[in-house]
Amino acid sequence: MTTGISKGWLPDNERVKKNTAIMIIGAGIGGLTAALALQRAGFKVSVYEQAAELGEAGAGLTIAPNGMHVLNHLGLGKAMKTIAMTPRHGAVMHYKTGRVLVDIPRGDTQVEKYGAPYCQVHRADLHAALVDAVAANDPQCIHTAYTLTDFSDSGEAITADFENGVSVIADVLIGCDGIRSVVRSELFGKEEPRFTGYIAWRGMVPMANLPQELTGPDSAIWLGPGHFLTRYRVRNGALLNYVAVAACDGWQEEGWSVAAEVSEVVETFRDFEPNARRILEATPPDHCHKWGIFDRDPLPVWGHGRVTLLGDAAHPTSPFLGQGAVMAMEDALVLARSFELSESLATTLQRYEDARRERGAFVILESRSNLKLITECNPDTFGSDIHRNEESLGLADYDAVTVAI
């Protein structure tokens, strides 16, 4: 890794006050959850987002109970009940026969075990619920068309410079700007993310285009040799979301996500059972996108002086445990709790990073090994003794609301 520019310092005795100016870069799920958690703790926050309009990709998200603890605590449990699905079961299935290899009880079982449900939601619906909640607390909080280009630290404050020519001063800067974080590069030097060797097609199929029997069990993953397909319903059951993952020599496309031909994914999964293929074939032409899957190695430290990182900016993980957004939510709540509990700004940021670094690193590394496990396994002999997920790894046991920090 290139050594980054050392930016600024933070006096040990600078106190945290309710009017400490907190600047968040990025209005993704991490940045918005952080804004909401800090607002609810009584702090003043401003969010700066590069996009001209707020929104999210047309894709699904699984929110395991460890993420739902955060959303429930922030008052979004009710919204989730109307926008999200709670599958009764998850299944790992054989790609050719559809035979259930592993049955995962979800639904009430998860609530009994963890005190919160396991949910599946359209990213855009969750994003909109977060935007509404943040804006209800402070209509001026979110600024769009603000692309951070650089920041500097005078020793007393941070000045952030944006592409639109505006500079903004704050006491603290939280980089929630995703896997290609400018804040992270400014702190630690520019470094390309690591291509996992896999790409994902993500599609949304209106349920009206599919026979109902295609969605039993509620949530499923078909395991095939070197490639796999997961599907679940979102938007109150109106849409079926899928993620189809396969090996690829490299990612030559411009950007992380590009529109894809439905025929490509159909061809790649031609060896899958008819029920799986029927879902892919039913994708409307403009509803399939392709993503290169990247991650980064864990960072030994997340911040410097008045600046820290959160979510994918801090610990960009591949999606093979479905925990990236959930980790960003946990970070957000722990950061807000740290602001509430600490006297000085230096202690706040240190307490937050100390509480979260190891877990962020664990998810990156475990997600990588899960990809290896599921792409190298033999579907004929796969079973619950081999299967790993957020439950078997103990990730679902964590509650960011109550964990000691």
Residues designated catalytic: 232
Angle 116-122-124 from CA coordinates, rounded to 5°: 115
Nearer residue to ligand FAD within complex by CB, 65 or 379: 65
Closer to ligand FAD by CB, 71 or 349: give it: 71
CB of 12 to ligand FAD, least distance (A): 29
Q: Peptide bond preceding 105: is omega within 30 degrees of 0, i.e. cis?
A: no
Give the residue from 322, 289, 229, 292 showing the smallest Cα distance to 59.
Answer: 289
Instruction: Identify whether the C-beta of residue 294 lies closer than 8 Å to the C-beta of residue 318.
Output: yes
Least separation in angstroms between residue 323's CB and ligand FAD is 5
**Residues engaged in binding ligand FAD (CB under 6 A):** 25-31, 48-51, 61-62, 146-148, 176-178, 182, 200, 202, 243, 291, 293, 311-313, 319, 322-326, 328
Would you say 153 or 312 has its CB closer to ligand FAD? 312
Our CB check for ligand FAD shows the closer of 313 and 346 to be 313
For residues 329-342, one letter each, b for 16 or more C-beta atoms within 10 angstroms of the residue's C-beta and e for the rest, the string is bbbbbbbbbbbeeb
Residue 146 or 272 having the CB closest to ligand FAD: 146
**Cα 298 from Cα 276, distance rounded (Å):** 35
Residue 8: left if φ>0, alpha if ψ -120 to 50, beta else—which one? left
- Residue 220 CB, nearest approach to ligand FAD (Å): 14
Q: How many CB atoms lie within 10 A of CB 301?
A: 12
Number of H helices, E strands in the chain: 10, 18
Q: Which two tokens stand for residue 278?
A: 């029927």
CB of 321 to ligand FAD, least distance (A): 8
CB of residue 10 to ligand FAD, shortest distance in Å = 22
The helix or strand, by DSSP H or E, that contains position 46, with its residue range, turns out to be strand 45-48
Helix (H) or strand (E) holding 206: strand 194-206
Nearest residue (CB) to ligand FAD, 95 versus 146: 146
Q: How far is the CB of 237 from ligand FAD (least distance, A)?
A: 17
Q: Is 212 exposed, middle or buried (0-12, 13-18, 19+ CB in 10 A)?
A: exposed
| Residue 317 identity (one-letter amino acid) | T
